């Protein structure tokens, strides 16, 4: 994490995250994930948390809607792919705990104070939520009639990582252009 991270760079990063999460969560929401015991998918969405953080930077509903959105999303034709995609999103929530500590130190005296709703998504429950996700994935895999379930989930996780990295690189390059 950049020791010289500025509030405007943090805002741009949150904007890029929203640009990826918003269309991806919309796609995931169209799948029957609520039927998986223990997944509690409605409690895992992060778009509202990103929007909350961005509102602290002065965004409103209109400006949030105008932010660019990623169109090169991974294909999610079924449950294995959705769970592979969620593996990336949930794993980044777990890893976000390291980022959260850095952000709190970096912006402890910021005015107005920075908010970290996205990186503190589950608060103290991040570990139990990660384990519950793993349990839901294992249960889905064990009960799958498709022998290719695990391979499809892994491929979707890789495609999600790749799409996420490409989007962040694109948005970083766009932010570096002169205004």
Q: How far, in Å, CA of 118 to CA of 79, rounded?
A: 25
In tens, the pLDDT along 104-147 reads 888 877 766 678 999 999 999 999 999 999 999 999 999 988 88
In tens, the pLDDT along 76-111 reads 999 999 999 999 999 999 889 899 998 988 887 776
At residue 1, the pLDDT reads 60
Residue of 98, 132, 129, 130 whose CA lies nearest to 116: 98
**CA-based torsion, 151, 157, 160, 166: positive or negative:** negative
Mean pLDDT of 167-178: 82
Torsion of CA 42, 47, 52, 53, to 10 degrees: 130
Greatest Cα pair distance in the chain: 55
CATH of domain 7-176: 1.20.910.10
The SS3 assignment for 125 reads helix
pTM of the model: 0.92
Give the pLDDT band of residue 179 (cuts 50, 70, 90).
Answer: low
Mean pLDDT of 54-61: 95
């Amino acid at each position: 994490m950049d020791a010289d991270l500025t509030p405007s760079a943090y805002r741009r990063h949150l904007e890029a995250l929203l640009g990826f999460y918003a269309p991806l969560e919309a796609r995931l929401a169209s799948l029957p994930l609520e039927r998986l015991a223990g997944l509690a998918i409605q409690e895992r969405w992060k778009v509202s948390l990103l929007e909350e953080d961005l509102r602290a930077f002065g965004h409103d509903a209109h400006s949030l809607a105008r932010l660019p959105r990623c169109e090169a999303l991974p294909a999610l034709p079924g449950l294995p792919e959705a769970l592979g995609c969620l593996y990336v999103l949930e794993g980044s929530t777990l890893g976000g705990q390291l980022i959260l500590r850095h952000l709190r130190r970096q912006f402890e005296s910021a005015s107005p104070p920075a908010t970290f709703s996205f990186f503190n998504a589950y608060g103290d429950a991040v570990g139990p939520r990660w384990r519950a996700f793993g349990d839901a994935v294992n249960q889905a895999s064990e009960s799958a009639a498709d022998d290719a379930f695990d391979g499809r989930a892994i491929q979707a996780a890789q495609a999600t990582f790749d799409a996420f990295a490409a989007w962040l690189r694109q948005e970083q390059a766009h932010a570096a252009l002169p205004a």
